[in-house]
Amino acid sequence: MEDFERDFFRGFRTLSDEMESLINDFLRRPMLMTRTRVWKPATDLYETDREYVVRMDLAGIRREDLSITCDGRSLLVRGIRREVAPQPMRNYHKMEIDFGPFERHIELPGPIEQGGVKASYRDGFLEIRLPKAVERPGREVIVAIE
């Protein structure tokens, strides 16, 4: 039953991702673009024994245009990809590169030690390493037997 549920919900996530992509492709048409639209960069999230790692594709973004905040269970990355100098009118056949502000809110699978979070930005990829919080044993509770 668990495999069915996992595959069922994975199908919904895939459908949701495809619908979002379809809508974003439609909205990218130059006549419909607005300055207030916020885009979401492609992001990977994985974990090791000791940490969660977030890797984000942010090609062409300056380090000073990035902002990262986190609390014990989530991460927020914001920034802006600035457009290059205005170009003469172009006849686009494909337009997939987003410009303007972006924001990505990521719920982490577990709690983190906020003091040890480290970020690096190289070759267009932002990598954030978030050490997992040390599990603290719960209080001992004496349970009465009836």
CATH code, domain with 119:
2.60.40.790
27 and 71 together in one domain:
no
Q: Are residues 12 and 77 in the same domain?
A: no
Q: Tell me, what's the pLDDT at 6?
A: 60
Do residues 27 and 50 share a domain?
no
Do 70 and 119 fall into the same domain?
A: yes
Clarify whether residues 50 and 2 are in a common domain: no
What does the pLDDT look like over 88-126, one tens digit per residue? 888 888 888 888 999 999 999 999 888 889 999 999 999
The domain tally of the chain equals 2
Share of the chain above pLDDT 90, in %: 45
- Residue 140 maps to a domain: no
CA dihedral (100, 34, 37, 86) in degrees, to 10, reads -10
| Same domain? 22 vs 60 | no
CA distance 31 to 76: 30
Please report whether residue 72 resides in a domain: yes
pLDDT confidence tier of residue 31, bands split at 50, 70 and 90: very low
Residue 122's domain spans which residues?
38-84+93-135
The H or E element spanning position 27 is: helix 2-27
Q: Is residue 10 part of a domain?
A: yes
